[in-house]
Structure 1
Amino acid sequence: MRILFTICGRAGSKGIKNKNIRDFLGRKLPLYTLSAIDLYMKRHPSIDCDIVANSDSKELLNILCNNGKCKVYAIERTADLSGDRVAKIDVIRDCLARMEERTHKNYTMVVDLDITSPLRIVQDIENLIKKQAETNCDVVFSVVEARRNPYFNMIKKTERGYAKVIQSDFVARQQAPEIFDMNASMYAYKPDFLRTGKGIFDGYCEVIRMYDTGILDLDREDDFELMEVVAAYLFSDKAEFAEIKSNITNLY
């Protein structure tokens, strides 16, 4: 098996200034993602893994590529892939093409880990890779159980007030179909599917469940601060999370 790990991030941010290079509990945010990959590689030395960072931010590339312990390839993002309306899957597809050309390897899987989702453990990565390998699906992504359900306690505005998003007669949440939130933390792609140029839901999708850490979309300063509160608890209370943070000292 040959795995290409991708870490992608744009320069700047509209909601939180420079969030991809911010300090997070005393360490640069992208280092939590790199630490998780490093620990996975140490536990699976027989798997051929490469890591590539893709960004139009020289500072982000410097943080990831000049860590001194873990080899990370750098791809300076082209202008046509730098806009905020560019789909991330297009950037990942570009990573695959350019890394295959650079390394002359045929990767069997492409695994993308999001910078703004630092609260993951090594077993999450293992579960993701195992699911893609066993099912041979086009893409696996991570989810958590949704806290709200459109069949039961989610509403929308209508011409006559408000109503359920999906009409139903369920009187308890347990009766409604199980619903999940995509937490935008991890994706594993089949390279042949990436090359088609299709979107995620155009292919055969599978999921893995992650621990519901209350992962937030980092759109506002409050979101960042709240995630630090959650992370501080997990790093102090759960060993599998704590090792991600402590391993950063092995990278720098």
Structure 2
Amino acid sequence: MTIVSIVPCRGGSKGIPRKNVLSLAGKPLIFYSIEQSKQSSHADRTIISTDDQEIATVAKSYGAEVIVRPAEISGDTASSELALIHALDYLKDTENYEPDLVVFLQCTSPLRKDDDIDKAIIQFQQEQADSLLSVSPGHSFLWEQIDGVARSINYDYRNRPRRQEMNPQFRENGSIYIFKPWVLREYNNRLGGKISLYVMAEPCVDIDSMLDFEIAEFLLTKQHTNHAN
């Protein structure tokens, strides 16, 4: 079985300029997804999809392959799915290569344990899934407000349950996605078919602000200190 990791990393970022190459706990943010992918015993290749020369240079310095993404699918409104499809099409057209599985790693969610990617792949195979997403367990009472009307989403506020009585709930944390290429091509979506949930108990931060960045740096530093001890 051939497995490729793809990490979309565009150059533009409004929230944090140059976010993907900004130093996080002493390394560029992009380093963590590359290193974790390369440490996987199941992923055969690690590919960065980018429109940015600096990101490409940094990615190559850490051993990743680079696919240059066209500007028209690199703007603020361009979806990750467009980058993923472009990368798969490029590999098919230039190498006649199409992997059995794609591991999609979000550069902005670097808090993964060393074995998370391999564990997710093994679970994917064992459950005979078509796609998988990493999630974090949660017990929040959720509400929404539409046209000024507030409504409880995942519980009945008139009959409030105890947390331990609620069905297990999970938050999509953006760290790991796995899918078969046909899922992406058929649904234009990273998820489809039989979907598996890979539960990550450790804190997971999707970096979108400087506060997120600082939290991720604190957790990464703590994680490395624990490993050293």
User: Is the shorter-chain TM-score for this pair beyond 0.5, marking a shared fold?
Assistant: yes
**What percentage of aligned pairs have identical amino acids?**
24
Partner secondary structure for residue 44 of structure 2: strand
* Paired residues of 2:12 and 2:75 also in contact (CA < 8 A): no
* Paired residues of 2:205 and 2:216 also in contact (CA < 8 A): yes
Alpha-carbon separation, structure 2, partners of 1:85 and 1:159: 26
Q: 1:1-252, aligned counterparts within 5 Å?
A: 1-40=1-40, 44=41, 49-67=44-62, 70=63, 72-148=64-140, 153-157=141-145, 162-168=150-156, 169-213=159-203, 215-237=204-226, 239=227
CA-atom RMSD in angstroms: 2.2
Gaps of 5+ in 1: 243-252
Partner secondary structure for residue 185 of structure 1: strand
* Paired residues of 1:33 and 1:118 also in contact (CA < 8 A): yes
Shift of 1:136: 3.3
Shift of 1:167: 4.7
Alpha-carbon separation, structure 2, partners of 1:3 and 1:166: 36
Shift of 1:162: 4.4
* Paired residues of 1:144 and 1:180 also in contact (CA < 8 A): yes
Alpha-carbon separation, structure 2, partners of 1:174 and 1:91: 41
* Paired residues of 1:156 and 1:163 also in contact (CA < 8 A): yes
Question: Aligned letter for 2:121?
Answer: I
Alpha-carbon separation, structure 1, partners of 2:37 and 2:43: 13
* Paired residues of 2:20 and 2:29 also in contact (CA < 8 A): yes
Gaps of 5+ in 2: none
Alpha-carbon separation, structure 1, partners of 2:146 and 2:17: 36
Alpha-carbon separation, structure 1, partners of 2:59 and 2:49: 10
Question: Aligned letter for 1:154?
Answer: L
Query: Structure 1 residues 136 and 97, CA, compared in 2 at 3 Å: closer, same or farther?
Result: farther
Partner secondary structure for residue 196 of structure 1: helix
Shift of 1:203: 2.9
Report the more deviating stretch, 203-212 or 21-30: 203-212
Shift of 1:200: 3.8
Shift of 1:60: 0.8
Alpha-carbon separation, structure 1, partners of 2:113 and 2:8: 19
Partner secondary structure for residue 234 of structure 1: helix
Alignment coverage as a number of residue pairs: 227
Alpha-carbon separation, structure 2, partners of 1:100 and 1:132: 24
Shift of 1:158: 6.4
Shift of 1:7: 1.2
Shift of 1:127: 1.6
Query: Structure 1 residues 165 and 194, CA, compared in 2 at 3 Å: closer, same or farther?
Result: closer
Alpha-carbon separation, structure 1, partners of 2:43 and 2:117: 15
* Paired residues of 2:105 and 2:177 also in contact (CA < 8 A): yes
Alpha-carbon displacement from aligned partner over 1:105-161 (angstroms, at most 9, x marks no partner) = 33111111111111112321012111222333221110010241xxxx223346787
* Paired residues of 2:132 and 2:191 also in contact (CA < 8 A): no
Alpha-carbon separation, structure 2, partners of 1:35 and 1:200: 22
Alpha-carbon separation, structure 1, partners of 2:151 and 2:182: 43
Alpha-carbon displacement from aligned partner over 1:170-203 (angstroms, at most 9, x marks no partner) = 3311112211011100111101222224324543
* Paired residues of 1:3 and 1:107 also in contact (CA < 8 A): yes
Report the more deviating stretch, 156-165 or 90-99: 156-165
TM-score by length of 2: 0.89
Question: Aligned letter for 1:190?
Answer: K
Task: Show the counterpart of 1:246.
Answer: none
